[in-house]
């Protein structure tokens, strides 16, 4: 195995493990009714697997340059949404629907996912009142985020390839 391929495998395995660990922590926080923090870690898990998907796509065509992995929140979430759209397209029709996979809705939803909800983690003043913090994300939003992260992280781990220690899959507790 060429050195770049060995390093690429190590990176993809580390990304998969980190995304899985973030997801597990999000599930624990959800179980303890820590909605905002569960949402945040679920979002980070989605970003991490999105980063892995971006790298996976670029590695063979860009070589060494691919190791400068994106830190752009929107790009990573968009990549994760594209990964899930690809899976849904193929599982529904057995045909890859590139239009669905690369639809602009993933860009808009990526912005909404990160900017709207992550901002609620921080306490601030809006409209003459204090908002955010622990009450910034509602239970349903946290459940949706953790459910989406569960689906996309496990799909991403599968798509990114083999690991010496495959993570154990589980359903979110809701």
Write out pLDDT tens, residues 30-49.
999 999 899 989 989 998 99
Q: How confident is the model at residue 166 (pLDDT cuts 50, 70, 90)?
A: very low
pLDDT at 109: 52
Task: Please check whether residue 16 is in contact with residue 160, taking contact to mean a CB–CB distance below 8 angstroms.
Answer: yes
Helix (H) / strand (E) element for 125: namely strand 124-126
**How far lies 107's CA from each of 58, 145, 164, in Å?**
19, 17, 33
Q: Give the residue from 49, 29, 48, 37 showing the smallest Cα distance to 158.
A: 49
Q: How confident is the model at residue 157 (pLDDT cuts 50, 70, 90)?
A: very high
Domain ranges of the chain: 3-160
pLDDT at 66: 80
Q: How far apart are CA 20 and CA 5, in angstroms?
A: 22
pLDDT single digits (tens) 80-111 = 888 777 777 766 665 555 555 555 554 445 44
For the entire predicted model, the pTM comes to 0.75
What is the CATH number that goes with domain 3-160?
A: 1.20.120.330
pLDDT at 168: 46
Helix (H) / strand (E) element for 130: namely strand 129-131
pLDDT single digits (tens) 100-156 = 555 555 444 544 555 555 656 778 788 898 877 777 788 998 998 899 899 889 989
């Amino acid at each position: 195995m060429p050195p770049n391929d060995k390093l690429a495998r190590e990176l993809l395995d580390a990304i998969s493990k980190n995304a899985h660990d973030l997801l597990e922590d999000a599930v624990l926080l959800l179980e303890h009714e820590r909605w905002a923090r569960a949402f945040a870690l679920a979002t980070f898990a989605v970003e991490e697997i999105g980063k892995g998907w971006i790298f996976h796509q670029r590695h063979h065509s860009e070589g060494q340059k691919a190791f400068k992995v994106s830190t752009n929140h929107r790009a990573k979430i968009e990549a994760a949404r594209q990964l899930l759209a690809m899976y849904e397209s193929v599982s529904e029709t057995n045909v890859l629907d590139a239009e669905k996979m690369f639809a602009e809705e993933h860009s808009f939803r990526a912005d909404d996912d990160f900017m709207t909800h992550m901002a609620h983690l921080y306490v601030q003043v809006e409209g003459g009142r204090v908002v955010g913090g622990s009450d910034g994300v509602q239970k349903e939003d946290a459940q949706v985020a953790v459910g989406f992260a569960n689906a996309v992280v496990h799909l991403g781990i599968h798509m990114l390839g083999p690991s010496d220690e495959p993570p154990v899959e589980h359903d979110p507790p809701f």
